[in-house]
Structure 1
Amino acid sequence: MAGRSVNSRHLLTSGVTALAPAIWGSTYLVTTEWLPPDRPLLATTVRTLPAGLILLAFSRTLPTGRWLWRSLALGALNIGAFNFLMFVAAYRLPGGTAAMIMAVQPMLVLLLAALLIGETIRPRHVAACALGALGVVLLLFKGTVSLDFVGVAAALGAAACLAFGITLTKFWGRPDGVGLLPFTGWQLAAGGLMSLPFTLSIEGLPTTLTGTNLIGFAYLISLGAVISYAIWFRGIERLPALAVSFLALGSPIVATILGYLIRHETFSFLQLLGILVIITAVLLAQPRPATPRARLPLPIRS
Structure 2
Amino acid sequence: MFLESTPIVWHNGKLVERENAAPSIASHSLHLGIGVFDGIMAYWNRDRYYIHRLDAHLDRLRNGSTHIGLGFSWSNEDLKAGILGLLEAVPATNYYIRPIVYRSVPQLNFNDTMPVDVTILAVTIPRDVDKSLTCHISPYERVSGNAIPVAWKLCGTYVNSYLARRAAEVAGFNDAILLDQQGRITEAAVANLFLLQEDRVITPALTANIFPGITRATLLDIAGELGIEVVERDVRPEELGNFDGAFLAATMMELKPLASIHPYEYDSANHPLFRRFLKEFREITHQ
- TM (norm. structure 2) is 0.26
Bigger relative contact order, structure 1 or 2, given CA contacts below 8 A and separation 6+?
Answer: 1
**Which of the two has greater strand per residue?**
2
**Which of the two has greater helix per residue?**
1
Q: Which one has a bigger Cα radius of gyration?
A: 1
